[in-house]
Amino acid sequence: MSVLTAGEVVARIKSNLGFPWRTTTYRDTFKFGDPDTVVKGIATTMFCSYDTIRRAAEQGCNMIIPHEDTYWNDPDKIDVVSGDPSYKLKTDFMREHDIVVFRMHDHMHAQRPDFIYVGCARALGLESRYETTPQSHHFVLPETTLEELAATFQKKLGDRALRVVGNPKTKVSRVQLGVGYATPSINNPDVDVVVSGEQQESDGFLDSPAYVLDAMTLGIPKGWIMLGHNISEEQGMLEMAQWIKSFTPEVPIQLVRSEEPFWVAQ
């Protein structure tokens, strides 16, 4: 009986991408476990949280393909976290459950289409007929208000901690979608609203919350909707699971949601 190893799954991912693997990536590498590990089931997820790994293991998945880091820092540097008890507990659990983790981030965003955008647009109800040109992530929607648009997104996603900047009554229709920390510029004249995952509030490249505050004061229609990093990228890992399934028929594959980490004070 032939067995499927984690290394073989990664080899198939590489050969099905449609472009050469970028060997310089520090993100898309094995984060835990041996490539020779026999795979019983695969779970894709957004954040490789302990709870996600635990639920994946319960469902018979021992190969985790997350979009984000495992050890709370983007390069997954062990020395940053190895002194913390949570690091030991998390890796102990993975060892006991024969878990192997391989991250898919850079290559996923380089794929066309980028499944992360596909998943996010699907979850938000941003249909392709509204997209200006394919994969522009720029949508012209029937005119609405910033408040209604934000509420619609919140309802669709079940997002608890969605945050908005701008005048709630501002009329908007042109939406630029971003995901994760890749947040498009709000000062683009073709854009009324930027929707994205996470962006630092200030002191960066273009501090959009501050820009939107001033635009609001000036009566210039601009809006800023932050969905949260997890919520904005999680759905695309469903598309990733379906894609891997297409060339990995031997084992079950599913999305295990890492879910929104926050609750909000009432």
- Range 90-149, binding another protein (CB under 8 A): 90, 109, 114, 117, 135-138, 147
Residue type, position 5, single letter: T
Residue of 32, 102, 211, 243 interacting with another protein (CB under 8 A): 211
Residue 69 binds another protein (CB under 8 A):
yes
Residue 154 binds another protein (CB under 8 A):
yes
* Strand 138-145 with 163-165, pairing: unpaired
Residue 214 binds another protein (CB under 8 A):
yes
Q: How far apart are the C-alpha atoms of 21 and 208, rounded to whole Å?
A: 34
SS3 202: coil
Going by C-alpha positions, the residue among 132, 106, 128 that lies closest to residue 22 is 106
Q: How far apart are the C-alpha atoms of 145 and 171, rounded to whole Å?
A: 5
Tell the smallest beta-carbon distance from residue 209 to another protein (Å). 4
Tell the smallest beta-carbon distance from residue 152 to another protein (Å). 9
Residue 22 binds another protein (CB under 8 A):
no
Residue 1 binds another protein (CB under 8 A):
no
Question: For residues 106 and 28, is the Cβ–Cβ distance under 8 A?
Answer: yes
Tell the smallest beta-carbon distance from residue 244 to another protein (Å). 22
- Binding piece for another protein, criterion CB under 8 A, among 8-16, 35-43, 77-85, 123-131: 77-85
Residue of 37, 91, 176, 254 interacting with another protein (CB under 8 A): 176
Residue 20 binds another protein (CB under 8 A):
no
Q: How far apart are the C-alpha atoms of 241 and 228, rounded to whole Å?
A: 22
Question: For residues 193 and 147, is the Cβ–Cβ distance under 8 A?
Answer: no
